[in-house]
Structure 1
Amino acid sequence: MGWKQPTRIQAEAILYALQGRDVIGVGQTGSGKTAAFALPIIQALLEHRQRFFACVLAPTRELAIQIAKQFEALGSAISLQCSVLVGGIPRTSQTISLAKRPHVVVGTPGRLLDHLTNTKGFSFNKLKYLVLDEADDLLKAEFQKAVDDILNVISKERRTFLFSATMTQKVEKLRRACLKNPVKVEVDSKYSLVDTLRQELYVVPAKYKDCYLVHVLNEMPGSMIMVFVRTCKEMTARKVDADEIMILRESH
């Protein structure tokens, strides 16, 4: 994947994770938290091949999909199989994916609990690793009951990794509830940003938003771009508008 050196949180968290410790990792956006928990899990999976080996909880479907892609990329040499359980996607396709008994399941709390409750043959009775990514967001009211219910039905004999950009009182409470003698790795101050991340704010009229989006994308050729939108419906409309604007620009 072109990685030469570990980031700070990877260098510290992976060391403890390979020792079999539960880990709390606190680091800012872009610090490399996903690989910090994915690599130790893949190493353990290499040594003890098992289906439904690990579960990762994430607060959004975009993050869940991103995490799954990293697991598949890092685990490609051992043919790692991963299922993504999120809303907005038909349950049938996810049920078929679970029937193949993947090594890693990544999902949002509500949809994951739905499958644990209603999908025949799917359980985490022998789960070895649980990851709570962006734990501060997972503890919002909309997720809290589902997270509690999931913790009640999965194997207690597991390693648990909790990663977050911040360490709030709620995250500390969750730590006490589901981790055993964890080690805390904190590499950055609260709300800080990595040096390679640049933030810019454009204040534009709503009706010109698509045009400005195309302009910004054109200014960064060759870059990997992720665009966040509020709803699936808006995402579809945004794609159509952006394509139309691009055609108009090229025609002139």
Structure 2
Amino acid sequence: TSMADDREQRMKPETDKTVEGSSSEDENSLVNSGENEVVKTFKDLGVTEVLCEACDQLGWKSPTKIQIEAIPVALQGKDVIGLAETGSGKTGAFALPILQSLLASPQRLHTLVLTPTRELAFQISEQFEALGSSIGVKCAVIVGGIDMMSQSLVLAKKPHIVIATPGRLIDHLENTKGFSLRALKFLVMDEADRILNMDFETEVDKILKVIPRERRTFLFSATMTKKVQKLQRAALKDPVKCAVSTKYSTVDKLQQYYIFIPSKYKDCYLVSILNELAGNSFIIFCSTCNNAQRVALLLRNLGITAIPLHGQMSQNKRLGALNKFKSKSRSVLLATDVASRGLDIPHVDCVINYDIPTHSKDYIHRVGRTARAGRSGKSITFVTQYDVELFQRIETLIGKKLPAFPTQEEEVMMLVERVSEAQRFARLEMKEQGEKRKRPKGGDGDEDDTEQSSGVRKKVKGGSGGGGGGKKRGGGAWRGGR
């Protein structure tokens, strides 16, 4: 599976590394316990034979740091707080102990995993099923954007593991007859900082009220925020803290650059970089759905196989987009931050921040998409005249001064004419889609998200490109500048 590449040999040179017996609240109070000299196997951690074989089949040769820290603690029956970034192998860190407990005493509705986003829920389910395939584990993914009725039928079959976003789970707890989590043994909250940042606090409180007190809880979070500490006190009993990330680290193998450009030439610089680094895979981050859609259309008009992934796309579209990118039939993914965290994208060569992130922490998560699993990668951040202050904040946060990415201004300026032509077509397409959306229900013309319209039309021509674009502004908001 593609997850195998995403995982192992992920021995990033990180500094903090601890297991603490107390739920000490401050990240700085973590003890440095040096490196583990001996490379451990999953067997050394206490994982049973059948699950070790499953790891082997997934190509997980040796456990990652968070797994070395968390698995033994979890197998001793303790609650765990894992401070780990996406891509540190944390899914395995909670999935293996849970599957092992399920093997020891099989029961239905054994585990609930809460995640902030739909995509992450599907990924976690994939991993549980891959690891538990030989022992017949059944998972149900319960997220928004999918029909409640069909989900109720899945829940009626009583799967072993339910992976859910908080909002949709509450819908089922309140409305689906016969569905309850009263016998639950394990609760996992993955990316807890994001669950809480997305204002799911009331939902999480409701869920905590309807599951047994006598349960085991694993809480994973990239950062230890005040909200997460509060949740930890409410939900966990004497947890052991396993941390494998420095507070805000970006990997050493990641080459980070910035480009200072006038905002009206962003598109030209983008096209120039994509041409220069052709053959690599890219994720380009935009701040709005509208912009992600527009830039995707623009690039397609120039014959670059780009695919958007944003909040206005239906669930199937998002998963489809993600799979096309994973299978390498598209080399450029245009994403918003909603789509950015916790996505299991095996490896990206280059991350481009087309729009600078307004929250510096999002920068860490965005660039964390590349240079994973010990490989090297690049990130390039576009800084316009309006972004200087935000950019300085990012540099302060990561404690590095970033070098400028070398570009040839004359060459970029030669693209202006072609790019502005493509901008015009992208605008028209956005407008058409906007109008289609306003029409009475019926033909779903704008939904053929990526297929016919994408990399195929090398010639500049308006087609029916991506779905979910200019809802409010019909694309007309793009006049040269921003």
TM-score (norm 2): 0.47
Kindly provide the amino acid, as one letter, of the partner of residue 214 in structure 1: T
Q: Is the 8 A contact 1:134 1:165 kept in 2?
A: yes
Q: Is the 8 A contact 1:30 1:194 kept in 2?
A: no
| Partner of residue 179, structure 1 | 236
Q: Is the 8 A contact 1:98 1:122 kept in 2?
A: yes
Q: Is the 8 A contact 1:31 1:194 kept in 2?
A: no
| Partner of residue 66, structure 1 | 123
Kindly provide the amino acid, as one letter, of the partner of residue 170 in structure 1: K
* TM-fit CA distance, 1:99: 0.9
Provide the rounded CA distance (Å) in 1 between the counterparts of 2:325 and 2:257: 13
Total equivalences in the alignment? 249
User: Whose relative contact order is higher, 1 or 2, with alpha carbons under 8 Å and at least 6 apart?
Assistant: 1
Classify the secondary structure of the residue corresponding to 1:105.
Answer: strand
1:14-33 matches, within 5 Å, as 14-33=71-90
Choose which of 113, 138, 144 in structure 2 pairs with 1:87.
Answer: 144
After superposing the two structures, state which structure 1 stretch, 193-202 or 206-215, moved more: 193-202
Choose which of 214, 217, 220 in structure 2 pairs with 1:163.
Answer: 220
| Partner of residue 196, structure 2 | 139
2:97 aligned with 1:6, yes or no? no
- Bigger-Rg structure (1/2): 2
Q: Is the 8 A contact 1:50 1:103 kept in 2?
A: yes
2:186 aligned with 1:116, yes or no? no
| Partner of residue 267, structure 2 | 204
2:131 aligned with 1:44, yes or no? no
* TM-fit CA distance, 1:28: 1.6
TM-score (norm 1): 0.86
Q: Is the 8 A contact 2:108 2:160 kept in 1?
A: yes
Provide the rounded CA distance (Å) in 1 between the counterparts of 2:183 and 2:242: 27
Q: List gaps (5 residues or longer) in structure 2.
A: 1-57, 260-265, 269-290, 308-321, 340-432, 435-444, 460-482
| Partner of residue 6, structure 2 | none
Provide the rounded CA distance (Å) in 2 between the counterparts of 1:101 and 1:121: 10
More helix by share: 1
1:88-107 matches, within 5 Å, as 88-107=145-164
Relative to structure 1, the CA distance from residue 70 to residue 194 in structure 2 (aligned partners, 3 Å threshold; closer, same or farther) is farther
Relative to structure 1, the CA distance from residue 200 to residue 143 in structure 2 (aligned partners, 3 Å threshold; closer, same or farther) is farther
Kindly provide the amino acid, as one letter, of the partner of residue 245 in structure 1: S
Provide the rounded CA distance (Å) in 2 between the counterparts of 1:71 and 1:226: 29
Provide the rounded CA distance (Å) in 2 between the counterparts of 1:46 and 1:91: 30
Provide the rounded CA distance (Å) in 1 between the counterparts of 2:155 and 2:81: 28
* TM-fit CA distance, 1:77: 0.7
Provide the rounded CA distance (Å) in 2 between the counterparts of 1:175 and 1:196: 33
Provide the rounded CA distance (Å) in 1 between the counterparts of 2:253 and 2:154: 36
* TM-fit CA distance, 1:241: 4.4
Calculate the aligned-residue CA RMSD, in Å: 3.4
Q: Is the 8 A contact 1:28 1:193 kept in 2?
A: no
* TM-fit CA distance, 1:9: 0.3
